[in-house]
């Protein structure tokens, strides 16, 4: 029987709580494009308590707002019904196919850092991100980490400055590092891809949304933990994979997300081509694949035919896990 993630203590969702939250990492046998497991984590159930919001729960469980909404359609994000059980979608298919360095999957709005270890092992860290809105799209492309800055100053591009003047009468040309309204937050990775950066944010609730001028924004506590892990020189890539195909325990899983920039109008055709390219067509049921594309809630969905196996992999009960319960144009560097 599945255990519910819940709490008996009435601790509020506040910044110290978010700063001290648990963010798991995963050690896997290093996969290749055609072999090895490429699915990490597990989906967990959670029982809503009075005062919860999906936005608070997303941040506490290190999810983007998009991820918790996709996994729980029909649930009011601001006043979810107390006692209802929702899904915490903390399971992911790794983006294909380098399995090394920093990878940002744009449609998923999630970043992965994969570090090779001795003994053919790979350590995986993953965090949700906010990305470029539709008129300031985050691009696809390879890059390297070429610099790291603590308390970066934001030199506002002229096109964004004009936008600020028009929207709120703010004519500033820069915002100093450490300022409360600095949209870069406290930490920034500089990339070899001109005009784009990976950094924190002064508005955590924008994670899992298309809110930036093209750059990648992480929760403050996530960028603080990621910052010392990633050395200068690390390779990276922005990929556009609305559907990811993975393997776990001999079964095939498909994880589907909204095609946010409209780049893949034929998702089923593209997914079948990927399944065939990975040599997994013989282990894939096309009916289950259609279900995964239509109704998987952004979570890895088993598409291998096995009537005894669940389509969603659920975590085993963990009575020690607790969640706090609250009381009643030109790409810009942001």
Q: Are 39 and 92 a contacting pair, CB within 8 Å?
A: yes
Q: How far apart are CA 263 and CA 261, in angstroms?
A: 6
Tell me if the bond preceding 107 is cis, omega within 30° of 0: no
Tokens of 110: 């999630």
- Pairing state of beta strands 235-239 and 101-105? parallel
Count CB atoms within 10 A of the CB of residue 20.
Answer: 9
Q: How far apart are CA 156 and CA 166, in angstroms?
A: 14
Q: What is the DSSP string of 238-278?
A: EE--SEEEEEETTEEEEEE---TT---S-HHHHHHHHHHHT
Catalytic hit among 96, 97, 164, 199: 199
According to DSSP, the residues that pair with 28 across neighbouring strands are: 122
Q: How far apart are CA 201 and CA 207, in angstroms?
A: 9
Q: Are 236 and 101 a contacting pair, CB within 8 Å?
A: yes
According to DSSP, the residues that pair with 27 across neighbouring strands are: 123
Catalytic hit among 96, 213, 215, 257: 215
What strands, in cross-sheet order, belong to the sheet with 101-105?
A: 26-29, 121-128, 110-117, 101-105, 235-239, 141-150, 187-191, 197-199, 216-217
Element (H, E) at 225: helix 220-226
Tell me if the bond preceding 97 is cis, omega within 30° of 0: yes
Closest CA to 284 of 300, 295, 272: 272
Q: Are 311 and 289 a contacting pair, CB within 8 Å?
A: no
96 is catalytic: no
Catalytic residues: 199, 215
């Amino acid at each position: 029987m599945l255990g519910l993630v819940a709490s008996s203590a009435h601790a509020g969702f506040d910044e110290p709580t978010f700063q001290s939250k648990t963010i798991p990492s995963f050690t896997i046998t290093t996969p290749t494009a055609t072999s090895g497991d490429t699915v990490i984590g597990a989906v967990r159930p959670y029982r809503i308590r009075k005062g919860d919001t999906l936005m608070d729960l997303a941040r506490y469980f290190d999810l983007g707002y998009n991820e918790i909404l996709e996994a729980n359609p029909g649930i009011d994000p601001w006043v979810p019904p107390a006692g209802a059980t929702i899904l915490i979608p903390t399971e992911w298919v790794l983006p294909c196919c380098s399995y090394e360095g920093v990878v940002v999957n744009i449609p998923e709005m999630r970043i992965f850092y994969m570090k090779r270890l001795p003994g053919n092992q790979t350590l995986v860290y993953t965090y949700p991100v906010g990305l470029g809105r539709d008129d300031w799209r985050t691009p696809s492309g390879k890059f390297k980490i070429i610099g790291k800055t603590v308390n970066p100053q934001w030199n506002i591009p002229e096109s964004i400055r004009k936008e600020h003047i028009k929207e709120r009468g703010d004519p500033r040309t820069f915002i100093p590092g450490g300022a409360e309204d600095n949209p870069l937050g406290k930490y920034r990775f500089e990339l070899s891809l001109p005009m784009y950066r990976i950094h924190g944010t002064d508005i955590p609730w924008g994670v899992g949304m298309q809110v930036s001028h093209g750059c990648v924004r992480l929760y403050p506590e996530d960028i603080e933990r990621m910052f010392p892990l990633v050395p200068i020189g690390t390779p990276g890539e922005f990929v556009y994979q609305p559907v990811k195909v993975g393997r776990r325990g001999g079964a095939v899983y498909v994880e589907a997300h909204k095609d946010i920039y409209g780049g893949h109008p034929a998702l089923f055709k593209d997914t079948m081509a990927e399944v065939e390219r990975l040599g997994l067509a013989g282990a894939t049921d096309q009916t289950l694949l259609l279900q995964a594309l239509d109704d998987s809630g952004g979570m890895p969905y088993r598409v291998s035919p096995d009537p005894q196996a669940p389509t969603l992999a659920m975590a085993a009960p963990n009575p020690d896990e607790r969640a706090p319960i609250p009381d009643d144009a030109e790409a810009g560097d942001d």
